[in-house]
Structure 1
Amino acid sequence: MEATLDPLNPNQGLVLDLAASKPGRQAEIVREQYKMLTDPNRRPQDYYRAFVAGAKAAAADAQPERVLDAVVAKVVGTPKARHYRALSDGFLGAWDRDSTLVPVHSTIFALNTVGMRVNPQLGVRDAAGDLSAVFLYLKDAPLSKDVAQPILFAMNEVMSAVLPTARPRILVVRSGEYLDIDKRTTPRSQTLRIAGLLGQWTAMWAEIAKAA
């Protein structure tokens, strides 16, 4: 069965899941991604779609709690309810109500023969006028600042096409924590790290596809 994405340019969320996985579980993570993304009956992108849309609507509303409460209410009694409530609470705690949304785009971060689709969900202008391109990390698994660095680096490398002059950020939504580029890191070190992640992901995906 054909995969539903370009295996040489996975979305950044897929690569971030690999980066955040526990040692020894990388192949399991990519195998599960393959199963979900090649099974037309699973449509994993739909699981959090309503929450992401609700978060965008809440960020643009004077009463964000009302907006996200309505989103959560629609999934009460389903397996999504616990996740949506945790995400809602985390997002409301992190969102600066003096900020406004601005358009943001997706593009490809290319590195030799592989790449990654950079696709932040939020473009944000804060009260001081500074811009951020924010990727929403929605999963249960913890995400540390160090693990996020190569993804943030890749986002920053293509920011002129995503949201010019913006800084890349990842919001760990459930905890309400923003992750930013660590200025102590070097471009060379992060190029090697993202190259390793992309090479690992694409090689695993190819082998899993071959055996499917």
Structure 2
Amino acid sequence: MGSQDVKLISFWGSPFGYRVQWALKLKGIDHEYIEEDIFNKSNLLLQLNPVQKKVPVLVHHQKPVPESYIILEYIDETWKQSPLLPQQPYHRALARFWAKFAEEKILDAAWIAMCSSGEDKEKGVNIAREAAEKLEEEIKGKKFFGGESIGFLDIALGWISYWLPVWEEVGDMKILDPSKFPAITAWMSNFLNHPVIKDCLPPRDKMLVYFHSRREALSSSFHGWFKV
């Protein structure tokens, strides 16, 4: 399949967009990547996703699919090779549950903690840590959440391995202490060292500069959710 059949509109620093890139690469799907300026949104993005006006958007045969989790499931249903979601309905439901849990309890709390100070920062860190304790139990004894190979939940939580340490540095905070989260720490290493993942990550130094600027811009109104 030629790349002209599959296009991804995204932003270089978006963990949501990288979920889609990882899924496409893991399945060996050739695609065209189109970089979007999320601060000066293009007519293309507004036409493809007029409801949310956000990246990422996957375009397959001129048909747009928005929202990273929806895109992941679309990819998995459309291209059957290297399945991402478990085969059993119950295990698929669990994968979706943990993905939603981490998004609502860890990602949002960590973002607020990075962009705030004082009690708000402390509260955000504590919420994220408590949620991470649940994930720690879930990953214990496993190489990946998907077992021996990367699956839907690993891709959904992949931001924890790379974005979260950057947010911790920018926000001068610590959510995942390796001594308290050894299983998650081991998973992070396994994920980042996977041949597909390690070659598909944004530059860390560029991330630090970008998120420092986002923190400064949002520090007075940290309640603005990070959804790009």
Q: Normalized against structure 1, the TM-score is what?
A: 0.33
Q: Which has the higher helix share?
A: 2
Q: Which has the higher strand share?
A: 1
Q: Normalized against structure 2, the TM-score is what?
A: 0.32
